Amino acid sequence: MRCIRGMQLKLLFDENISQRLVEFINRESRLAQMAHIRQRGWSGLPDAQWIQTATQREFVIITGDRNERTRGYTVADLKALGARVILLGRSWDHLSRWERAKWLVRHIEKLVELAESMPAGTVYLVNKQAKFRAL
């Protein structure tokens, strides 16, 4: 597994990404320590609560939730909190479960590389081609 600043890279996937898919990719790739929020017991908690806890525990958060109203945090709030967040673009919402699985398997290495380079307080948006831009 890869390390960042002497520590093992930790990725946390939100509920809009399949837990089984995360478990498969974690087991088979061994690229980083990957967890799903259900595995941490944070399922159902308000986003503002689990995002703060995940940030304190130095996770890079990967989510398809781009709606600031439902998330409870704006991009500026996430940055001020020191969170490291990768937002999956609108195309994620239109993929079937099978297409999501193929997309994530195809692009997990690129997401890990991005996560490794992210200092605290950064948010990136990733599109369908796995190209990213800072927000």
Q: Which helix (H) or strand (E) holds 81?
A: helix 75-81
Q: Which CATH architecture has domain 3-130?
A: 3-Layer(aba) Sandwich (3.40)
- Of 93, 96, 112, the residue nearest 25 (C-alpha): 112
Q: Is the pLDDT confidence value at 35 over 70?
A: yes
Please give the radius of gyration of the chain, using alpha carbons only, rounded to the nearest integer.
14
β-bridge partners, 7: 4
Q: Distance between CA 134 and CA 82 in Å, rounded?
A: 14
Closest CA to 4 of 112, 109, 107, 81: 112
- pLDDT tens column, 41-97: 998 888 888 999 999 999 999 998 877 766 678 899 999 999 999 999 999 999 999
